[in-house]
């Protein structure tokens, strides 16, 4: 009897441990599938990143975690999302490829498990100083899609505090990122393709296709909210002379500069677009006629006083004529709103140029 007991007790313990491990494995596997499915359903990079950020703690508990994507020139990593104690104001902060542990991972394309950053010469404490945080351990892995590194995911300080990141943690992270990287890459490519269809090739502002697509939606929204929506339409005075005198290359650079000038004078919520040729349009949500006239005057003076020489290496002076229409004061449809602003702009052209006029 004694012998049977001495043998059966360890067997029972082993069986219980196996069940616990199997349950943990199935739970992790279920979480992985849920995250991957959610990411695959998204075509917006921000939503895919949010899916990673919202769920990564369920797999590997830690104090802070972030997603960094490579810039277009492949020289920098840009924080796209950061959560936890060390998040602070890291969004859109940058570090050079090769800088810190995350930069090393992006440069080498290999994951890193560092459980004592004080002993690792790759560690850079710059972001700890920004957020008054202490990094003790780091788990970082690359986001790889189609043999191309698109960024990294970094986890900081394994929880609970006495725990270290393990090879098992790395395996789980790699299993997650293997599928999510493709979803994120697809979303980034889709976003880039979408941008090409709604962005002006020269100025990188929105184009008339975007305005025509979205203005109707904005009008509907402002109709429901009972708010005013203002449209500023402007045409450059004497732009043909720039092309004739300096050539089309300088003319193109001039339009790029004009776009920057307009953009610098409006609010974040305003939409600036190149409507065609040397015509530009500004859509201003929740803006009264008086406010629109004030902003148009700011833009007019900024263009009139702008020094183009630094950008063009030529002496160029330009002015612009402005027409403004407001929903619902002057029109209630997309076509009428643009037409009224266009008519007001041409009235300025015929009466001496370089001025602002509100639609009748």
Query: What domains can you pick out in the chain, each with its CATH number?
Result: 12-190 (3.30.450.40), 206-358 (3.30.70.270)
Residue 330 has pLDDT above 50, yes or no: yes
Radius of gyration over every alpha carbon of the chain, rounded to an integer in angstroms: 29
Does 357 or 44 have the greater pLDDT score?
Answer: 357
Whether 76 and 95 have beta carbons less than 8 Å apart is answered as yes
Sheet containing 138-145: which strands, arranged edge to edge?
A: 94-96, 76-84, 62-70, 148-158, 138-145, 112-114
Q: What pLDDT score does 13 carry?
A: 57
Residue 131 has pLDDT above 90, yes or no: no
pTM attached to this predicted model: 0.56
CA 177 to chain centre: 20
Q: What pLDDT score does 49 carry?
A: 82
Match 């007001």 to its residue by tokens: 344
pLDDT tens readout for residues 222-263: 999 999 999 999 999 989 999 899 999 999 999 999 999 999
- pLDDT bracket for residue 39 (50, 70, 90): low
* 321 DSSP assignment: E
Measure the N-to-C terminal CA separation of the chain; round to a whole number of Å: 105
Sequence-ordered alpha helix ranges (H) in 109-166: 126-131
d(Cα 77, Cα 94) in Å, to the nearest integer? 6
Average pLDDT, the chain: 86
Mean pLDDT of all residues in 81-110: 87
- pLDDT bracket for residue 36 (50, 70, 90): low
Q: Is the dihedral of CA 6, 10, 15, 20 positive or negative?
A: positive
d(Cα 99, Cα 144) in Å, to the nearest integer? 19
């Amino acid at each position: 009897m004694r012998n049977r007991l001495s043998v059966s007790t360890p067997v029972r313990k082993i069986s219980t441990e196996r069940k616990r491990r199997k349950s943990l494995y199935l739970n992790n596997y279920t979480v992985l599938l849920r995250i991957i499915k959610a990411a695959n359903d998204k075509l917006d990079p921000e939503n895919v990143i949010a899916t990673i950020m919202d769920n990564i703690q369920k797999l590997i508990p830690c104090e802070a975690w972030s997603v960094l994507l490579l810039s277009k020139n492949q020289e920098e990593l840009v924080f796209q999302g950061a959560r936890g104690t060390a998040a602070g104001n890291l969004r859109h902060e940058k570090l050079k490829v090769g800088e810190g542990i995350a930069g090393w991972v992006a440069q080498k394309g290999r994951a890193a498990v560092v459980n004592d950053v004080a002993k690792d010469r790759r560690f850079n404490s710059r972001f700890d100083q920004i957020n008054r945080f202490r990094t003790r351990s780091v788990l970082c892995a690359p986001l790889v899609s189609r043999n191309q590194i698109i960024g990294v995911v970094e986890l900081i300080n394994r929880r609970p505090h006495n725990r270290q990141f393990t090879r098992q943690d790395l395996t789980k992270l790699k299993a997650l990122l293997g599928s999510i990287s493709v979803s994120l890459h697809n979303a980034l490519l889709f976003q880039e393709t979408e941008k090409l269809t709604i962005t002006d090739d020269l100025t990188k502002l929105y184009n008339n296709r975007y305005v025509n697509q979205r203005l109707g939606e904005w009008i509907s929204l402002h109709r429901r909210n009972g708010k005013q929506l203002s449209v500023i339409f402007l045409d450059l005075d004497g732009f043909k002379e720039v092309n004739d005198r300096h050539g089309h290359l300088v003319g193109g650079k001039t339009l790029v500069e004009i776009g920057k000038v307009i953009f610098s004078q409006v609010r974040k919520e305003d939409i600036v677009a190149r409507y065609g040729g040397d015509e530009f349009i500004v859509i201003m949500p929740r803006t009264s006629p008086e406010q629109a006239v004030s902003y148009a005057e700011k833009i007019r003076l900024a263009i009139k006083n702008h020094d183009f020489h630094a950008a063009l290496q030529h002496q160029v002076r330009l002015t612009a004529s402005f027409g403004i229409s407001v929903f619902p004061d002057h029109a209630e449809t997309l076509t009428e709103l643009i037409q009224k602003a266009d008519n007001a702009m041409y009235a300025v052209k015929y009466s001496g140029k370089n001025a602002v006029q509100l639609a009748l």
